[in-house]
Structure 1
Amino acid sequence: MFSTVLGLRTNLVTHFADDPHGLMVAGHLANNGVGAIVGGSLPTSTALATLEPGGAAQYSFSISWDINGASIPALASVENSIHVHTGSIGTVLSPGNTSVRGLIEASRAHATVSYDPNCRPATSPDVAGARHQAEHFVAASDIVKASDEDLRWLYPDRTQEETMAAWLDLGPALIALTRGADGPVILTRGGRVEMPGESITVADTVGAGDSFMAALISGLAQLDALGTPARERLHALTAEDLQALAAYANKAAAITCSRPGANPPASTELGPLTGSLASPEGQPVAGRP
């Protein structure tokens, strides 16, 4: 979830119940200044993370996904946002995925869109169906981020570079790939950058991809590259911009990996985006179904 700690005003379109887990979620969102637009009536979903010796996490899920009842406020939120992000289970698990798809389609005229497939084979084992869903959301997005694990599962018969190029052809301005300790790659029609992961002692990897995504969006906000009027700016990012974005998001992921749990860095830890023509203050952002 993307909160005001990275300078972005944010609403989260979600589902949780008035139960102990839901109250924990509600309190965490409130403490981080994130507005919640809540639909559905089933119990709060849970994900249990089990850590392997190297700090990598495996997940087991008890999940329901339905934002019925939140459609009108959710639509109002995306229509008043400069950027909307979606991904993971919310884009594949029915019946809520249909609502998410509608919100993304409605947001295109008002906002830039980002997408992170964050594939979970345990909840969507149909790889062909997941691939179809992913390509639909890639085509509807301006910014796409995926992990090497995502691409290996979705496209086992081609290289990650081939998939990034194919996704770029579907329409996005920017494709970012995270590769754990090997670091990120960012690809646009005008250039490509890659860098190694930062050297850290890993506590665990929970939340690293989300931290990378949040910092990428924050960095783009500082570059004035979010929002429908900024699409031309987004498509014209320079090699210097891409290098700065990769370093900024890489640092956010590394800080998250250096401490237990999904504990992303605050803007005071990251500092401003450097090495580009970034604005000193990012634009406000809202919306994450």
Structure 2
Amino acid sequence: MTRIAVIGEALVDVVVGGQAHAGGSPMNVSVGLTRLGWQAELHSRIGADEHGDLIRAHLAADGVPLGARTLAEGASWAASVRLDAEGRAEYDFALHGEIPIPEIEDFALIHAGSIGALREPGSTALLDAFRAAPALTLRSFDPNIRADVIGAADEARARVFAIAAAAQVVKLSDEDAEWLRPGSEPDDVLREFADNGTRFAVITRGSQGALALVDGVRYERPASPVTVVDTIGAGDAFMSGLLFALLRDGTDRLIREGRPVRGEAVLSALDTALASAAITVSRAGANPPHLEELALRLGR
């Protein structure tokens, strides 16, 4: 079976006025992929506290395997979450310790993102690992930018583009794109990523769907119609749905081997990712779909 590693934070989202939920963008991607039938080993930092107990129970419920150095002493990472009137989430973080970067030469797919990818000193170690990965390793990156916890803005922007240059697949939100290049059009940001070496670059745009630039060809797909409960985990569900579709359709092999990707495969991946995100925003919290739910949504 294809070995998949997801590197980055697992934390507890404490919703103000509500309950605590296991979260963190990379952790959500590992759960999403595992629910879709692709077991994704999570390499993170989970502390020996009540929050860590909650995270471990959440991962165990879906059978997500943990990397060898994921369990740690001390406090787990946590985030306080506030929801605005439209269900959009704002976060305040409490972060303790560093996330170790595993040996990754044995994995066919490595995904990394968010705070764990961009916060030093772990960011430099991740970049070195991406650059040293075997040529046929698919590297995926979602910056999922949390500007207040990743250091000086100019240095963080440089880290985003450095990691993206070592990845073949990059997904970012329109908010990420605006932070990276204030005032730029999404298409211009996609083009910069493509010129930087990314083969499959995607920007999600909430209710407006997604834009992609793949091998120099621009694609645009509408969002799946849905009644939004909240947007927690929406981008992560898009990411896991996208990677799932690339694996399902064999597109990952084309990307890894440097072969052309047909337009039908790109559209299939985008539509699958958008359907995954739509299911997630239709219910509370970061709750990505299982395979049967996604297949039903896609009519497969």
TM interval, short-chain normalised? 0.7 to 0.9
What's the counterpart of residue 99 of structure 1?
A: 125
Q: Which moved more, 1:186-195 or 1:248-257?
A: 186-195
Q: 1:2 pairs with 21, 26, 30, which one?
A: 30
What's the counterpart of residue 259 of structure 1?
A: 283
- Report if the CA contact (8 A) 2:127-2:166 is conserved: no
SS, match of residue 149 in structure 2: coil
Runs of 4+ in 1 over 6 A off after TM superposition: 272-275
Q: 2:79 pairs with 47, 71, 74, which one?
A: 47
Q: CA deviation at 1:172?
A: 1.5
- Report if the CA contact (8 A) 2:279-2:289 is conserved: yes
Q: Output one character per residue of 1:50-90: Cα deviation in whole Å (capped at 9) or x when no partner.
A: 1111111111110134135xx5xx21xx2221100001101
SS, match of residue 34 in structure 1: coil
1:115 has 2:141 as partner: yes
1:16 has 2:41 as partner: no
- In 2 relative to 1, CA 31–253 (structure 1 residues): closer, same or farther, beyond 3 Å? same
SS, match of residue 227 in structure 2: coil
Give the aligned residue type for 2:269.
Answer: L
Question: Which structure carries more strand by proportion?
Answer: 2
Structure 1 alignment gaps of length 5 or more: 281-289
SS, match of residue 187 in structure 1: strand
Instruction: Name the Cα RMSD after superposition.
Output: 2.2
Matches within 5 A, 1:66-85: 66-68=98-100, 74-75=102-103, 78-85=104-111
Q: CA deviation at 1:121?
A: 1.3
How many residue pairs match? The answer is: 268
Whole-angstrom CA distance in 1 between matches of 2:230 and 2:93 = 19
Give the aligned residue type for 2:256.
Answer: R
State TM-score, norm by structure 2: 0.83
- Report if the CA contact (8 A) 2:241-2:272 is conserved: yes
* Structure showing greater relative contact order (alpha-carbon pairs closer than 8 Å, 6 or more residues apart): 1
Q: 2:221 pairs with 195, 201, 204, which one?
A: 195
Identical-residue share of aligned pairs (%): 33
Give the aligned residue type for 2:257.
Answer: E
1:224 has 2:242 as partner: no
- Report if the CA contact (8 A) 1:111-1:226 is conserved: no
Q: 1:237 pairs with 261, 273, 282, which one?
A: 261
Q: 1:160 pairs with 181, 186, 200, which one?
A: 186
Q: CA deviation at 1:40?
A: 5.0
What's the counterpart of residue 204 of structure 1?
A: 230
Give the aligned residue type for 1:2.
Answer: S
Whole-angstrom CA distance in 2 between matches of 1:20 and 1:160 = 41
SS, match of residue 172 in structure 2: strand
Q: CA deviation at 1:210?
A: 0.4
Give the aligned residue type for 2:49.
Answer: D
Give the aligned residue type for 2:288.
Answer: P
Whole-angstrom CA distance in 1 between matches of 2:298 and 2:208 = 22
SS, match of residue 226 in structure 1: helix
